[in-house]
């Protein structure tokens, strides 16, 4: 049992800080954790996400880390026997797909999460105020169109918080059942996994990702699952995994 989605970026890249996450994992009887730093945090990833508009401004304030320092930390942690894997969470930007593939080819990650946080310069999970005057159905349609491209791109081992678009509780009027079924078939065809993420329980939606309707469809198609907390602090490693396991069984 591993936590497949953990960020250590709110502290220094040191073994001491990493050990704080390991301690919680062990207390929760996990076998290990995948460290999956956001690729946008690395200076070397600037061309993957930067724009001259809002997205670029937002990322520029957070693109402060050096990827070599990060990789060397995880390599050292492995060398001394800590149960960690080297991963990254990659924002999928359709027009930067080639640059993303080139970046991933340059570094040898054990695990890549593909996620969608941006639709153009609209950051869907940043603040509810950015949803003001948005057409909810239109956002959902664009989000899932982009999701199909992410799945087909081949960049990811797993899809992160696949229905993140629900984060603030906005729901479409349109029935998306057929879309979910098509997604499931495409995920199965790609041979990748989907996160069951407890992070949603800590967000305004107060709901695990993905939704029960989506998860039941994934079950029918035989989509494989991984558990994740999307922890950014040690105390959230393995967060409510017992509830997530029950949720999976119920679906």
The Cα 43–Cα 29 span in angstroms is 35
- pLDDT tens readout for residues 55-91: 999 999 999 999 999 999 999 999 999 999 999 999 9
Q: Which tokens is 151 given? A: 């799945």
The Cα 62–Cα 82 span in angstroms is 28
Residue-wise pLDDT tens for the chain (251 aa)? 999 999 999 999 999 999 999 999 999 999 999 999 999 999 999 999 999 999 999 999 999 999 999 999 999 999 999 999 999 999 999 999 999 999 999 999 999 999 999 999 999 999 999 999 999 999 999 999 999 999 999 999 999 999 999 999 999 999 999 999 999 999 999 999 999 999 999 999 999 999 999 999 999 999 999 999 999 999 999 999 999 999 999 99
The Cα 40–Cα 186 span in angstroms is 26
Q: Which tokens is 139 given? A: 């956002």
3-state helix, strand, coil in the chain (%, to 5): 50, 20, 35
pLDDT for 22: 98
Q: b or e along 18-46 (b: 16 or more beta carbons within 10 Å of the residue's beta carbon)? A: beebbebbeebebebbbbbbbbbbbeebe
pLDDT for 118: 98
Question: Which class in CATH covers the domain with range 2-250?
Answer: alpha beta
The rounded Cα 46 to chain-centroid distance in angstroms is 19
pLDDT for 248: 97
pTM of the model: 0.97
Dihedral of the alpha carbons of 220, 159, 153, 99, in degrees to the nearest 10: 180
Residues 6+ apart with CB under 8 A from 74: 35, 84, 85, 86
The Cα 160–Cα 175 span in angstroms is 22
pLDDT for 214: 97
Q: Please count the other Cβ atoms lying within 10 Å of the Cβ belonging to residue 128.
A: 12
């Amino acid at each position: 049992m591993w936590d497949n989605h953990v960020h250590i970026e709110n502290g220094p890249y040191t073994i001491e800080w990493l050990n704080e996450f390991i301690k919680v994992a062990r207390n929760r009887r996990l076998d290990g954790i995948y460290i999956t730093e956001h690729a946008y945090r690395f200076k070397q990833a600037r061309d993957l996400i930067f724009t001259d508009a809002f997205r670029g401004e937002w990322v520029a304030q957070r693109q402060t880390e050096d990827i070599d320092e990060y990789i060397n930390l995880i390599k050292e942690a492995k060398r001394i026997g800590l149960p960690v894997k080297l991963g990254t969470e990659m924002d999928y930007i359709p027009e930067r797909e080639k640059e993303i593939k080139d970046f991933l080819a340059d570094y040898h990650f054990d695990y890549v999460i593909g996620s969608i946080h941006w639709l153009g310069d609209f950051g869907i999970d940043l603040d509810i105020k950015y949803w003001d005057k948005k057409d909810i159905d239109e956002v959902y349609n664009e989000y899932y169109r982009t999701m199909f491209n992410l799945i087909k791109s081949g960049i990811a081992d797993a899809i992160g918080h696949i229905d993140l678009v629900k984060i603030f509780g906005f729901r479409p009027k349109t029935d998306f059942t057929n879309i979910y079924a098509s997604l499931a078939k495409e995920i199965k065809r790609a041979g990748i996994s989907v996160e069951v993420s407890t992070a949603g329980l800590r967000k305004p939606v107060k709901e695990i990702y993905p939704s029960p309707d989506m998860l039941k469809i994934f079950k029918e198609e035989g989509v494989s699952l991984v558990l994740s907390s999307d922890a950014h602090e040690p105390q959230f490693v393995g967060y409510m995994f017992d509830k997530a396991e029950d949720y999976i069984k119920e679906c």
